[in-house]
Amino acid sequence: MTDRLALITGASRGLGAALAEALAPTHHIIAVARTTGALEELDDRIKAAGGSATLAPMDITVPEAMATLCRGIFDRWGKLDLWVHSAIHAAPLSPAHHVAAKDWQKSMEINATATSVLIPYVAPLLGQHGKAVFFDDPRAGEKFFGAYGATKSAQIALARSWQEETLRTGPRVTLLTPPPMPTALRARFFPGEDRAVLTSPAEAAADLLPQILSD
């Protein structure tokens, strides 16, 4: 088993799952998501390709669970080489004055607050030489994207600050913008579009991999 470790938060489907599979030839994957069945299917695919994974069916919005996860990583391996944060919540599209309180709260918890909790937990594991990867989606300010755009922007603003703060000390923080993909998230936003013309998560992962692994 490789001694390089990659933590993937939001690993059960879409880009997170595709990146877990793409990274598995060079990293042991620690896959985090709430959906146990999807994680087990991911594990089967990784093992079939000769890789290895540790499954962590956890909710990233529960700070105690994330503390337990990161402590477990430290106790077992002592470090992380890579953290890929792909967990995201897509609130229903609505005018800003119709955003439901429950949709706003869930968007904040998953998209922003969980990130603010995870960064200080994961940073010591990454140390000076590890790398954290976030994915931008510049929807802020677009009509009907109020809850998603605002909370995703909060996540990215936090990541950008961390990026600037660690330029000299590490860990390295990278922000990437994936192409449009036929994911469940995008289907909630654009239910009628032709999904055949979109980039598959596997193709997107292959295109993003060199940037994720670059020094």
pLDDT, tens only, 130-149 = 999 999 998 889 999 999 99
CATH topology for 5-210?
A: Rossmann fold (3.40.50)
Secondary structure letter of residue 24 according to DSSP: T
> Residue 10 and residue 78: Cα distance in Å, rounded?
22
Q: How far apart are CA 147 and CA 150, in angstroms?
A: 5
pLDDT digits (tens, 9 = 90+) for 186-208: 998 999 899 999 999 999 999 99
CA-based angle 120:90:199, to the nearest 5? 100
Task: Tell me the torsion sign for CA atoms 70, 9, 156, 163.
Answer: positive
Taking a C-beta distance cutoff of 8 angstroms, is the pair 46, 121 a contact? no
Half-sphere exposure in the Cβ direction for 157 (13 Å, CA): 9
Contact 17, 11 (CB under 8 A): yes
Q: Is the dihedral of CA 34, 37, 40, 41 positive or negative?
A: negative
**Residues in CB range of 61: below 8 A, 6 or more apart:** 109, 110, 113, 114
Tell me the percentage of the chain whose pLDDT exceeds 90. Answer: 93
pTM, two decimal places: 0.96
The amino acid sitting at 136 is D
pLDDT one-digit tens code per residue, 46-91: 999 999 999 999 999 999 999 999 999 999 999 999 999 999 999 9
Helices (H), the chain: 14-23, 36-48, 63-76, 101-107, 114-126, 146-165, 184-189, 201-213
Query: CA–CA separation, 149 vs 114, rounded Å?
Result: 16
Decide if pLDDT at 1 tops 70. no
